[in-house]
Chains A and B, each alone.
Chain A
Amino acid sequence: QSVLTQPPSASGTPGQRVTISCSGSTSNIGRHTVNWYQQFPGTAPKLLLYRDNQRPSGVPDRFSGSKSGTSASLAISGLQSGDEGDYYCSAWDVSLNGWLFGGGTKLTVL
């Protein structure tokens, strides 16, 4: 079964650095790039990072991404209260012949 696994929650205090992991397999992350989406309550998802670590224009460099083997990570430095929301990783899966999303990680700024 093709799945991307994320921790259901993450938290940090303002100014801290937080990382969110995304674990997959050789049919998805292991052979294709990873994208990250940010979603605030009641709003649509928004592209946060693409191709593992590329930021669309307008996304602050506090957000960064990395990938190694079949896992990827999103790092948020200088945590701000406005970063509270849900974060989803996504990758193409050759077995599914479609896109997979992780279950999402709810980020709380304490």
Chain B
Amino acid sequence: EVQVVESGGGLVQPGGSLTISCVASGFTFSDYWMTWVRQAPGKGLEWVANIKGDGSEKYSVDSVRGRFTISRDNTENLLYLQMNSLRADDTAVYYCARVSRVSVAGTNWFDPWGQGTLVTVSS
């Protein structure tokens, strides 16, 4: 079964750091781009960052660039999101998802999604 499972969320003070993880199974992890999407309480979905299968390309949304770093360990099938200088508006459930493999750029989709891990930034 193709599956991704997040972990590592928790309570962190403003200005603090946290790294969350996502372990993948059921597919050849290194063949796929992976992504992080977040959802603030009661709000909609926001794409955060994505990373190519070999880790050579990374992209992120403006609001986290310079503070968050996406990375991966293909030997352990792990995806990471290192979050620094956390702010209250980073409070959200963070989902990891696999990006579909397609030949035409811009036609990808996210499937499957993990169950999410909650990051709360508060003093």
Task: Give residues in A with beta carbon < 8 Å to B.
Answer: 31-33, 35, 37, 43-47, 50-51, 56, 88, 90-92, 94, 96-104
CB contacts (< 8 Å) of B95 on chain A: these are: 44-45
* Known contacts A50-B100, A98-B60; A45 and B45 CB within 8 A of each other: yes
Measured between beta carbons, the chain A residues less than 8 angstroms from B46 are 101
Min CB gap B121→A, angstroms: 21
The reply to whether the CB of B27 lies closer than 8 angstroms to some CB of chain A is: no
B44 close to A104 (CB less than 8 A) = yes
A-B contact pairs, 27 of them (CB 8 A): A35-B109, A35-B110, A37-B110, A44-B113, A45-B45, A45-B95, A45-B110, A46-B112, A46-B113, A47-B113, A50-B100, A50-B109, A51-B107, A51-B109, A92-B105, A97-B59, A98-B47, A98-B60, A99-B35, A99-B47, A99-B50, A101-B44, A101-B45, A101-B47, A102-B44, A104-B44, A104-B45
Alpha-carbon distance A7/B121, docked complex (angstroms) = 30
- Which of B35, B60, B111 is close to A47, meaning CB atoms less than 8 Å apart? B111
Contact between A47 and B45, CB atoms less than 8 A apart: no
Evaluate contact between B109 and A44: CB separation under 8 angstroms.
Answer: no
Q: Using Cβ atoms and an 8 Å threshold, which residues of chain B touch A103?
A: 44
Interchain CB contact (< 8 A) of B61 among A47, A91, A98: A98
Residue B106 is within 8 A (CB to CB) of chain A in the complex? yes
**Residue of B46, B108, B109, B115 ringed by the most chain A CB atoms within 10 A:** B109
